[in-house]
Amino acid sequence: MEFTILKKSTKSKARRTRIVLPHGTIETPVYMPVGTNGSVKAIKHQDVADMGYRLILGNTYHLYLRPGIEVIKQAGGLHQFTSWPHNILTDSGGFQIFSLAPFRKIKEEGMYFRSHIDGSYHMLTPELAVQLQCGFRSDILMALDQCTAPGITEKEAVKAMEITHRWAARCKEEWLRCNDQWDGNLFGIVQGNFFKNLRKESAQFINDLDLPGIAIGGLSVGEEPPVFKDFLAYTCEYLDENKPHYLMGVGTPEYILEAFEDGVDMLDCVYATRIARNGAVFTHDGLLAMKKERFASDFAPIEEGCGCYTCRHYTRAFLRQMFKTNEIMGPMLATIHNLQFMYDLVEDIKKSIDNDCFKTFKKDFLSRYTGGERD
Amino acid sequence: MEFTILKKSTKSKARRTRIVLPHGTIETPVYMPVGTNGSVKAIKHQDVADMGYRLILGNTYHLYLRPGIEVIKQAGGLHQFTSWPHNILTDSGGFQIFSLAPFRKIKEEGMYFRSHIDGSYHMLTPELAVQLQCGFRSDILMALDQCTAPGITEKEAVKAMEITHRWAARCKEEWLRCNDQWDGNLFGIVQGNFFKNLRKESAQFINDLDLPGIAIGGLSVGEEPPVFKDFLAYTCEYLDENKPHYLMGVGTPEYILEAFEDGVDMLDCVYATRIARNGAVFTHDGLLAMKKERFASDFAPIEEGCGCYTCRHYTRAFLRQMFKTNEIMGPMLATIHNLQFMYDLVEDIKKSIDNDCFKTFKKDFLSRYTGGERD
């Protein structure tokens, strides 16, 4: 995988990079919409691509359980199955086992868990996680890791980190074994819970594995914002700067700006699409809840100047009508807007880094975003 | 309203006509998708227009209750509110009061009913029905009628028909009063339940009102198919042939073909979009239920040769995955396909009338559609 640093900020660690992937070249910072079951929820893949997105995420846990690896392999991989001709990053499934499975047991061999769909038992080993993602023909695949929640003891955190490291090494071995059949890129994941010595140790271990990219896992899992910021900045200090840095499962505009400032290159989150389905839409002055009574006769678009399909065609009053009448059109139109907002935000961030004014951009954006109208 | 008969079949009453409406010219036969609350469910208006549709339906009952007439008037009418630049036909609200309201009482003045949303009481008079549709700036508006179910006595049917006639006359008067402010076209509705003498009488009364168009109401309301066909053909015999004929709330491909054969020019139905949301899709060999196990590894499109977005990008296996995982994308993709199928079917019907081979087309289509694969 070809990785080039295009530009570094002088006043922060924010940077611009280029990653050459099997389905096209990506410039970072990049935000990845999440396509859980094979579709980004409530929006056509063509509309996602038309906005400019070239890299989306798929969830191995969900796709492994439904429709299953055989169907996706028979389809020729996840790109063909989901009709997404650009890049796909898949996670390992470990995080969903952590967050969704009604039962899980960590063994040296792998993660033993029950499906949240039908209660069936499964064993996800590091080797299987790689094989599944190989079957998907993922452009970027993630090592199996053990995510942990805030509040555990250091001893427990050490145990989870060490198994994550052993699994990462086994993933690498399996990936090297499979790699001649396809050209996906394995990323390792830094864990270590909320212990700085462990975060540092984990970063160094993953650096030393010398995989194509490095991810930060186990953040934004329930800790307070100052703790998130502290551990993110601390962890980023120890990442090999010649590898792409991917922060998993983040997030809000506030967290995204924080992450890019610390030198994160890539991130994904369901936040933008999930809140859209509940009627919450981004504006530069903060979130708006479209169901609110005060939008009943508001014939302005969600945000003046936004170029998305929704803002070009519809008013807040119409959006409110769609959400009040439970029309699928509500989630559809709000999803379009929120993904366009995120895309435009990241484009603005890229420009600010190019012009070496990221910190000013961040300050101005947040001042308006957190100080403005709020629902 | 300019209405031109373009071509008549020699072997049936099927015909091609042209209707000049405020938002563009329509050629018939025409099928109208239904936009209940201001959106055709689960599909963007732009996608509906891109398929070729130029006339959709809005439901006055729903729009009157939510968002209310004032919001739509402030928006500048229903076209502006819903971002649909082509023609809109609105019903009077009478049918939804018949089918949805938890309480209704027919009075000479109008229909007294309770909202199915919040239980509030409302009175829909013929004058109000026209005023509402005038406020929507509907291209075609419908007179208030009283729909009745099969199985009532002739006495009850006479009473309902007569009040429908008096209301139609009051609607005409109100429409003439409002008409200088805008150029919508009022259609009258033939009722008469399942009594041929009443159907004939009602057709003659509505003909004599000399409104721009004539609709057939009170069919496809639970009667058996042979009864539907019999009463449809009978009623059509008595319609003024120099007016457009609109069959309300029909229907399936079988019923649509029946209707066009009898000289119906326009029809609307939620069937295509409703079954789509439940995973049923049209093919020329009959309906397919996308959730079925047998589609799990079926990598064909819904139908070979279909030019819709769904068939160009997705397989049956992917559709099944979307419906099994309850993704909004399932209804979205199935709706696109079903509306394209209906559009293409009506285009084929138009061609068959132009070539004076409608009856052959109908026979061939039904032979394959009803004899083929079925779920």
The CATH number that applies at residue B172 is 3.20.20.105
- Per-residue pLDDT, averaged over A185-207, amounts to 98
In this prediction, residue B371 has a pLDDT band, given cuts at 50, 70 and 90, of confident
C-beta atoms surrounding A350 within 10 Å: 20
pLDDT in tens, B305-330: 999 999 999 999 999 999 999 999 99
Q: Is residue A62 part of a domain?
A: yes
A226-271 pLDDT per residue, tens = 999 999 999 999 999 999 999 999 989 999 999 999 999 999 999 9
H helices of chain A, where?
45-51, 60-65, 69-75, 78-82, 94-99, 126-136, 154-178, 196-209, 225-237, 253-261, 271-277, 309-313, 316-324, 329-354, 358-371
Instruction: Say what the pLDDT of residue A182 is.
Output: 77
Indicate whether B110 pLDDT > 70. Answer: yes
pLDDT at A352: 98
| Pair of tokens at residue A362 | 């961040």
**What letter does residue A34 receive in the DSSP assignment?**
B
pLDDT of residue A179: 77
ipTM, interface predicted TM-score of the complex: 0.96
Q: Could you tell me if A252 and A345 lie in one domain? A: no
A303 contacts A319 by C-beta, under 8 angstroms? no
Which of A176-180, A363-367, B22-26 is predicted least confidently? A176-180
If asked whether residues A337 and A302 sit together in one domain, one would say yes
Mutate to test the interface with B, among A34, A36, A39, A291 (most CBs of B within 10 A): A39
* CB B2 within 8 Å of CB B24: no
A238 and A206, same structural domain? yes
DSSP of A299-352: -S-SSTT--SHHHHH--HHHHHHHHHTT-THHHHHHHHHHHHHHHHHHHHHHHH
Q: Are B256 and B358 in contact (CB under 8 A)?
A: no
Closest by Cβ to B325, choosing from A66, A315, A325: A66
pLDDT reading at B63 higher than 90: yes
Q: Are B287 and B262 in a shared domain?
A: no
Angle (CA) A174-A178-A180 rounded to 5° is 140
pLDDT band at B336 (very low <50, low <70, confident <90, very high): very high
Q: Which chain B residues touch A if contact means CB-CB below 8 Å? A: 36-39, 41-42, 44-46, 62, 66-67, 70-71, 74-75, 81-83, 277, 296-297, 299, 309, 313-315, 317-318, 320-322, 324-325, 327-329, 331-332
Q: In the predicted model, is pLDDT for residue A49 greater than 70?
A: yes
pLDDT at A373 over 60: no
Q: How many CB pairs under 8 A join A and B?
A: 114
Residue A375's pLDDT is 52
Residue B35, in any domain of the structure: yes
- The pTM assigned to this predicted structure is 0.97
How many alpha carbons lie under 13 Å from residue A237 in its C-beta half-sphere? 10
Residue B276 is assigned to a structural domain of this protein: no
Residues A175 and A292 in one domain: no
State how far the Cα of A79 lies from the Cα of A137, in Å rounded to an integer: 8
Position A75, amino acid:
A
List residues bridging with B31 in a β-sheet. B267
Q: A17, A5 in Cβ contact below 8 A?
A: yes
Confidence check: pLDDT of A325 > 70 = yes
Residue A24 inside a domain? The answer is no
Q: Please write the tens of the pLDDT for every residue from B205-218.
A: 999 999 999 999 99
Judged by CB atoms closer than 8 Å, whether chains meet at A329 and B39 is answered as yes
- Give the pLDDT confidence score for residue A306 in this predicted structure: 98
Are residue B309 and residue B245 in the same domain, yes or no?
Answer: no
- Contact residues on chain A for B299, CB-CB shorter than 8 A: 74-75
Q: Are residues A118 and A234 in the same domain?
A: yes
**What secondary structure letter does DSSP report for B151?**
T
The reply to whether A196 and A322 lie within a common domain is no
Pick the last residue of a domain from A269, A298, A318: A269
Nearest by CB to residue B39, choosing from A296, A315, A322, is: A322
Residues on chain A touching B329 (C-beta within 8 angstroms): 39, 41-42, 44
Confidence of residue A181 (pLDDT cuts 50, 70, 90): confident
Cis peptide before B251 (omega within 30 of 0): yes
For residue A374, pLDDT beyond 70: no
pLDDT in tens, B119-153: 999 999 999 999 999 999 999 999 999 999 999 99
Mean pLDDT taken over chain A: 96
CA nearest B277 in A: which residue? A328
What mean pLDDT value characterizes chain B? Answer: 96
Q: Across the interface, do B67 and A320 touch by the CB < 8 Å criterion?
A: yes
Residues A71, B329: C-beta atoms closer than 8 Å: no
Instruction: Specify the pLDDT at position A55.
Output: 98
Question: Contact A81/B318, CB-based, under 8 Å?
Answer: yes
Name, in order, each residue with C-beta under 8 angstroms of B43's C-beta and a sequence gap of 6 or more.
Answer: B273, B332, B335, B336, B339
Helix (H) or strand (E) holding B164: helix B154-178
Output the pLDDT for position A93. 95
Contact B315 A75 (CB under 8 A): yes
Query: How many domains is chain B partitioned into structurally?
Result: 2
Give the gap in angstroms from C-alpha A71 to the nearest C-alpha of chain B.
6
Is the predicted pLDDT of residue B182 greater than 90, yes or no?
no
Could you read off the pLDDT of A86-115 as tens digits, one per residue? Answer: 999 999 999 999 999 889 999 999 999 999
User: Is A137 part of a structural domain of the chain?
Assistant: yes
For the cut 70, the answer to whether the pLDDT of residue B372 exceeds it is no
Domain of residue A357: give its range: 280-371
For residues B292 and B281, what is the distance between their CA atoms, to the nearest angstrom?
12
* DSSP state for residue A290 in the 8-state scheme: T
A238 and A98 together in one domain: yes
**Of A219-223, B97-101, B167-171, B180-184, which gets the smallest average pLDDT?**
B180-184
Q: From chain A, which residues contact B within 8 Å (Cβ)?
A: 36-39, 41-42, 44-46, 62, 66-67, 70-71, 74-75, 81-83, 277, 296-297, 299, 309, 313-315, 317-318, 320-322, 324-325, 327-329, 331-332
Q: Do you know the residue count of chain B?
A: 375
* Rounded CA separation A344/A168 (Å): 35
Chain A CB contacts of B45 under 8 Å are: 313
Q: Is B31 within the bounds of a domain?
A: yes
d(CA A100, CA B270): 37
Is 70 exceeded by the pLDDT of residue A64? yes
* The pLDDT value given to residue B181: 72
Q: How confident is the model at residue B73 (pLDDT cuts 50, 70, 90)?
A: very high
Q: Which of A216, A242, A269 is the last residue of a domain?
A: A269
Contacts of A46 in chain B (CB under 8 A): 309, 313
| Span A297-321, pLDDT tens digits | 999 999 999 999 999 999 999 999 9
Residues A36 and A124 in one domain: yes
Contact criterion met (CB < 8 Å) for A321 and B75: no
Q: What is the pLDDT of residue B375?
A: 52
Alpha-carbon gap, residue B190 to A134, rounded angstroms: 64
Q: Which residues of B touch A41 (CB under 8 A)?
A: 327-329
Residue B123 dihedral angles phi and psi, to the nearest 5°: -120, 115
CA angle A229, A89, B331 (to 5 degrees): 105
Q: Which of A269, A288, A306 is a domain's end point?
A: A269
B75–chain A nearest CA distance, Å: 7
Asked whether residue A51 is assigned to any structural domain, the reply reads yes
Strand order in the sheet with A185-190: A30-32, A266-268, A245-247, A213-216, A185-190, A140-142, A87-90, A55-58
Which residues, 6 or more positions from A120, have their beta carbon under 8 angstroms from its beta carbon?
Answer: A114
Same domain membership, residue A233 and residue A89: yes
Do A121 and A235 belong together in one domain? yes
Burial pattern A199-214, b for ≥16 Cβ within 10 A else e, equals: bbbbbebbbebebbbb
Residue with tokens 């009952």: B61
Whether A18 maps to a domain, the answer reads no
**What local confidence, expressed as pLDDT, does residue B373 receive?**
53
